[in-house]
Amino acid sequence: MNLDFSLAEREFRDEVRSWLHENVPKEPSPPEGPEMRAFDTAWQRKQYDGGWAGIAWPKEYGGCGLSTVEQLIWFEELAKADAPEVGTMFVGLNHCGPTLIANASEHQKAFHLPKILKGDVVWCQGFSEPGAGSDLAGLSTRAEIDGDELVVNGSKIWTSYAHLAEYQELLVRTDPNSAKHAGISWVICDMRSPGITIRPVPLSNGQHHFNQVFYDDVRIPIENVVGEINQGWTVAMSTLSFERGTAFTLTQVMLAKWIDDLIDRAKNRSINGKLAFADSEIGRRLTKLRAEAAALRAMTYMVVSRNMRRAQPGPDGSMLKILISRLRMEANAIALDLIGADAIAMNADTGGFLRGLAYRVGGGTDEIQHNIVAQRVLGLPRQS
């Protein structure tokens, strides 16, 4: 694997860096609510108007039509420029959009993809249920076919930004008599449809982006099914491969930058009369963390290189997610050690630690990811 960038790619990086220097928002993103949505969509629109939205998306749907290497360069420069995280745009940009590109009809792609890139709409995900989280195939939200419509009843949980979203990628069981992984459909749900009730699930830090969503005879046109009726498991695996693969490229870049920032903080903060980084234990942990972040970067380059030769990300994206989750948790723990007794009050570091507890669960638990790596990367047999 060649880790060097070509001359054209280096020139692309310079162009990206110059544009971001002039255009990255100076003010921080609001932490929640309609203000956060307005900030995120405005920043997305600015990228679109500047010709930088959807770096690797097809040109016919508003993207730039470039390679995943240029996408990686864009993400790296975003992190270096301290650009805001995608926030409410995460689902639409990082796995719903790519899923539609790979699986949707031409009409669905033409209608939805430009709206995502322009920041006109926010998407949320309707996969997990109170009784079907890690065991996603155990979902019970049902959709009965009534003419040219699906009638949906059930509930979804942990639905980030459902209260701010226009659309949802929704998994429903359309054939309850089929085998567990069959009879499921991947559907585009309009969140403004009658019969949808959204109940907030506040976070431990008092903020709100999680929700439980209830569906009471919600009618969805059958034309909103992506792929084929009862073939949604295949489409869902496509979605999860994007979520666990390319969607975390920006995350790992920002994580590496955050670790560097932690090292700088440790070199300028005193604990018990000496600089924190000089403390043998904290210095050792930060040095190890920085080395693992470098390994994560190399793994990301490997996965990006592989993705250039296949239609969608493979199971090796699970390796990235496992390592990202672990490094995030360790970085959060070190951040608390650096602030000492201040950790008992709610602040950015404490809030980050509390949010971090979800990293090893959201998007598929660490246990699920280890099973995927064992079976689909290493070729080990399933447990009996």
Catalytic residue ranges: 243
CA angle 281, 276, 359 (to 5 degrees): 70
Pair 106, 50: CB distance under 8 Å: no
How far apart are alpha carbons 311 and 273 in whole angstroms? 56
Could you tell me the two tokens for 266?
Answer: 């440790």
Taking alpha carbons only, the member of 66, 43, 40, 63 closest to residue 53 is: 63
Q: Let me know: does 32 contact 201? Beta carbons within 8 Å.
A: no
Can you tell me the distance from the alpha carbon of 17 to that of 34, in angstroms, rounded to the nearest whole number? 30
Four-residue CA torsion sign, 70, 248, 314, 121: negative
CA distances from 103 to 46, 242, 311 (A): 28, 12, 11
Q: How far apart are CA 278 and CA 306, in angstroms?
A: 40
CB 257 within 8 A of CB 79: yes
231 within 8 A of 99, measured Cβ to Cβ = no
Cα 255 from chain centroid?
A: 14
CA distance 213 to 216: 10
Q: Write b or e for each residue in 322-346: b if 16 or more Cβ atoms lie within 10 A of its Cβ, otherwise e.
A: bbbbbbbebbbebbbbbbeeeeeee
- Coil, strand or helix: which one is 363? coil
Query: E strands along the chain, which residues?
Result: 123-126, 142-146, 149-156, 167-173, 184-190, 196-201, 210-221, 225-226, 270-271, 274-275
CB-based burial label for 122 (10 Å; 0-12, 13-18, 19+): buried
